[in-house]
């Protein structure tokens, strides 16, 4: 074994035969945590503080129902035992099932309306995020699934937003904020995550006197306007960066840890990537606001407040890492 090998948490429990409801509740909790069943009533997880708290909560629930529960830390005696325990958490079959469902969905997305397609995309994303959350030892299967998800997500976004920019290659020149004051900025109307976050970033950190034009199609962009988030725009996707990340790099804002946390969130929602805990909530608020508000100025104002709050939240975490640990 090596110092990088995890300790393990073992929860052993039994419930009274009459506790069918409690048994189902606890079983669902164990499943959502990604526990491996060694046998009936014995469940294993790689050791981690948050998982230990979650298992302890299930143990306490079991005790309240009149059952028995023991939570203990165990250690394999050899490398072979460690490998055998890790094998219990092999998720390649789960990823295969997900990828099969995406392949089947590929055949139907072209026939769905925008609302149905958005619901399908959210459902599949939730399933993917839930699996990644319990993939404690990611490997080739997770990388293959990530690649397939990007392809599927791009297909969906291509239908929902046919003018979504394609990646371009090349470096990102460093620009001076002072040279970009009081400008007209233009992007596609009916804002979604990358566009609304980019507009917020422009107004909040780059050009406080910015004026925005919302375009029916990219070709409507006036020559005097600075376009963003469409093919041929002054600021768009470059390499693996989404437009929000391109703007951050262009204007030298990378030293702001809170902005970089927001960038990870925007990237995840726009093109996929590492799951971000706050992303699902932001997506839900954005979707609801988009349903309620048909005016993009009003939508930017409302979502700008949400982004202000997220930025303040991330700044506090960056200034006091203990605060993040305490929340967990």
In tens, the pLDDT along 117-176 reads: 888 888 898 899 899 999 999 888 988 898 888 888 878 877 776 666 655 556 788 999
Q: What is the location of CATH 3.30.70.240 in the chain?
A: 8-87
Spatial neighbors of 94 by CB under 8 A, at least 6 apart, are 131
Q: Which helix (H) or strand (E) segment is 314 a member of?
A: helix 296-319
> CA 89 → CA 6, 100, 106, 278, distances in Å?
13, 20, 29, 26
102 has pLDDT over 60: yes
Q: How far apart are alpha carbons 191 and 201 in whole angstroms?
A: 14
Higher-scoring residue by pLDDT: 273, 163: 273
Determine the CATH number of domain 8-87.
3.30.70.240
6 has pLDDT over 70: no
Other beta carbons less than 10 A from residue 185's beta carbon: 23
Q: How far apart are alpha carbons 281 and 303 in whole angstroms?
A: 12
Cβ contact 323:315 at 8 Å: no
Q: What is the 3-state secondary structure (H, E, C) of 107-173?
A: CCHHHCCHHHHHHHHHHHHHHHHHHHHCCCCCCHHHHHHHHHHHHHHHHHHHHHCCCCCCCECCCCC
Other beta carbons less than 10 A from residue 181's beta carbon: 11
Cβ contact 224:183 at 8 Å: no
According to DSSP, residue 6 is labeled P
Supply the pTM of this predicted model: 0.55
Opening angle at CA 195, ends 189 and 200, nearest 5: 115
Q: How far apart are alpha carbons 271 and 242 in whole angstroms?
A: 8
> CA 44 → CA 55, 78, 86, 91, 193, distances in Å?
10, 17, 10, 15, 38
Higher-scoring residue by pLDDT: 323, 56: 56
Tokens found for residue 99: 């990828």
Torsion angles phi and psi, residue 171, rounded to 5:
-80, 170
* Percent of the chain with pLDDT strictly greater than 70: 92
Q: How far apart are alpha carbons 226 and 233 in whole angstroms?
A: 7
Q: What is the mean pLDDT of the chain?
A: 88
* Percent of the chain with pLDDT strictly greater than 90: 62
pLDDT tens by residue, 215-256? 999 999 999 999 999 988 999 999 889 999 999 999 999 999
DSSP string, 242-284: -HHHHHHHHTT-TT-HHHHHHHHHHHHHHH--S--TTHHHHHH
* Nearest CA-CA partner of 184 in 202, 204, 172: 202
Q: How far apart are alpha carbons 136 and 94 in whole angstroms?
A: 13
Instruction: Sort 192 into a burial class: Cβ within 10 Å, 0-12 / 13-18 / 19+.
Output: buried
């Amino acid at each position: 074994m090596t110092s990088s090998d995890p300790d393990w948490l073992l929860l052993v429990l039994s419930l009274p035969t009459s506790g069918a409801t409690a048994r189902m509740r606890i079983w669902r909790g164990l499943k959502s945590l990604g526990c491996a069943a060694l046998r009936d009533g014995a469940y294993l997880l790689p050791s981690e503080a948050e998982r230990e708290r979650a298992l302890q909560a299930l143990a306490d629930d079991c005790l309240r129902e009149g059952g028995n529960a023991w939570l203990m830390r165990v250690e394999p005696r050899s490398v072979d035992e460690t490998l055998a325990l890790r094998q219990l958490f092999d998720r390649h079959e789960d990823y295969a099932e997900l990828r099969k469902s995406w392949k089947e969905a590929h055949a139907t997305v072209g026939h769905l309306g925008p609302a149905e397609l958005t619901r399908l995309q959210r459902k599949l994303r939730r399933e993917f995020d839930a699996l990644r959350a319990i993939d404690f030892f990611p490997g080739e299967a997770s990388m293959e699934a990530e690649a397939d998800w990007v392809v599927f997500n791009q297909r969906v976004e291509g239908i929902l937003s046919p003018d979504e920019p394609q990646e371009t290659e090349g470096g990102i020149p460093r620009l001076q904020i002072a040279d970009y004051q009081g400008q007209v900025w233009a992007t596609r109307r009916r804002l979604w995550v990358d566009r609304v976050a980019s507009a917020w970033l422009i107004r909040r950190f780059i050009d406080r006197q910015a004026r925005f034009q919302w375009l029916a199609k990219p070709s409507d962009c006036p020559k005097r306007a600075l376009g963003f988030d469409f093919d041929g725009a002054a600021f768009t996707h470059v390499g693996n960066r989404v437009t929000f990340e391109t703007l951050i790099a262009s204007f030298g804002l990378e030293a702001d840890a809170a902005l970089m946390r927001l960038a990870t969130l925007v990237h995840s929602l726009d093109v996929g990537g590492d799951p971000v805990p706050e992303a699902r909530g932001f997506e839900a608020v954005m979707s609801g606001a988009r349903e309620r508000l048909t005016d993009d100025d009003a939508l930017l104002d409302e979502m700008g407040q949400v982004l202000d709050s997220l930025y303040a939240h991330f700044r506090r975490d960056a200034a006091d890492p203990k605060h993040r640990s305490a929340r967990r």
